[in-house]
């Protein structure tokens, strides 16, 4: 059903919180996601020409690296991009077959691979590029929030989290109910000022990004400091000239 669901009062809003202050850009989350969605009960993800000249495939999670600001304020930020499980998900409403849907009980946005016709309109509707077309299966695929892990009672409770969250070595990824203001993820978002990417488009993403923390001020080295000790600077200059010959 491609109308957006009216969530029940006790419905959850499951999502991820990604800490851009901590992410080191190791791509472990991308690899873990690819492995889980290719090696377990999900349909295999396309992986064409993997060792050849033009590898091409479907990944649900992709890590971009951005250079932000200049000078002392400049930094490199690693930005993992995957489905944000938006509340006003246009990818759900544009789907003509109902294959793209948002679950009322937990807000997870999914694609039913048995009814998807592969028209690609959902990928056009998503501003974040969350959906990719699988050429081998002829259907659209996207982050499932590991619904096959989080509800799997045969897994130990500690492992019932998305693969990307479980594997992150820097603990930059968090999973939980963002609809519960007392949950750990909600408190994290409140403390750190978690935000939506591209909020001006009005998709109301569930996932939040935590911004890099401001740097402590770095004092600029003073020029023309009087030399410590007895004319050490003059000695250095003489030594430079000596060894430059």
Partner 1 sequence: MHPAKSIVFFTVVSGAGYGLLVLLGVGAGGGLLAPRSAAGLTGLATALALVSLGLLSSMFHLGHPGRAWRALTQWRSSWLSREGVASLATYVPAAGFGICVYGGAMRWAGVFGVAMALFAATTVVCTAMIYRSLKPVHQWHNRFVLPIYLMFALSLGALWLVMVLRLSGAHATPPLYLAGAAVLATAALKLRYWSFVDATAGVPSPESATGLGRFGAVRLFEAPHTGSNYLMKEMGFAIARRHAGMLRRLVVVVGFSTPVILLALAAATSDRMALVFVILAALAGTIGALIERWLFFAEARHSVTLYYGASRT
Query: Both tokens of residue 11?
Result: 């419905």
Query: Both tokens of residue 221?
Result: 């080295």
> Which residue, 16 or 20, is less far from partner 1 as judged by CB?
20
> Which residue, 150 or 168, is less far from partner 1 as judged by CB?
168
Interacting residue ranges for partner 1, rule: CB under 8 A: 1-3, 20, 30, 54-59, 62-70, 73-77, 79, 81, 90, 92-99, 115-121, 123-129, 132-135, 137-140, 195-203, 209, 211-212
> Which residue, 214 or 221, is less far from partner 1 as judged by CB?
214
Rounded (5°) CA angle 104-81-209: 75
> Which residue, 63 or 146, is less far from partner 1 as judged by CB?
63
> Which residue, 44 or 202, is less far from partner 1 as judged by CB?
202
Nearest residue to 28 via CA among 224, 162, 124: 162
Least Å distance, CB 151 to partner 1, is: 26
Query: Both tokens of residue 115?
Result: 């009814």
Least Å distance, CB 47 to partner 1, is: 12
Least Å distance, CB 52 to partner 1, is: 10
Expressed in angstroms, the distance from the first to the final Cα of the chain is: 81
Least Å distance, CB 81 to partner 1, is: 6
Rounded (5°) CA angle 197-199-204: 95
Least Å distance, CB 200 to partner 1, is: 5
10 Å CB burial of residue 21 (0-12, 13-18, 19+) is: middle
């Amino acid at each position: 059903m491609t109308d957006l669901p009216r969530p029940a009062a006790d419905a959850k809003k499951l999502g991820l919180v990604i800490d851009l202050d901590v992410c080191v850009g190791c791509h472990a989350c991308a690899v873990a996601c690819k492995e889980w969605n290719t090696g377990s009960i999900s349909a295999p993800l396309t992986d064409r020409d993997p060792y050849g000249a033009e590898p091409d495939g479907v990944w649900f999670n992709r890590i971009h690296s951005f250079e932000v600001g200049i000078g002392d304020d400049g930094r490199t930020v690693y930005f993992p991009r995957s489905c944000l499980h938006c509340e006003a998900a246009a990818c759900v409403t544009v789907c003509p077959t109902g294959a793209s849907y948002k679950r009322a009980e937990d807000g997870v946005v999914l694609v039913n691979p048995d009814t998807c016709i592969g028209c690609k309109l959902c990928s056009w509707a998503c501003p974040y590029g969350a959906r990719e077309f699988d050429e081998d299966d002829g259907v659209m695929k996207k982050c499932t929030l590991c619904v096959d892990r989080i509800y799997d009672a045969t897994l130990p409770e500690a492992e019932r989290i998305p693969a990307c969250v479980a594997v992150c070595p820097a603990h930059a990824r968090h999973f939980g109910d963002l609809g519960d203001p007392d949950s750990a993820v909600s408190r994290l978002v409140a403390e750190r000022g978690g935000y939506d990417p591209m909020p001006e488009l009005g998709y109301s993403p569930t996932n939040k990004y935590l911004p890099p923390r401001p740097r402590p001020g770095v004092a600029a080295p003073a020029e023309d400091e009087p030399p410590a000790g007895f004319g050490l600077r003059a000695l250095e200059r003489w030594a430079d000239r000596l060894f430059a010959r």
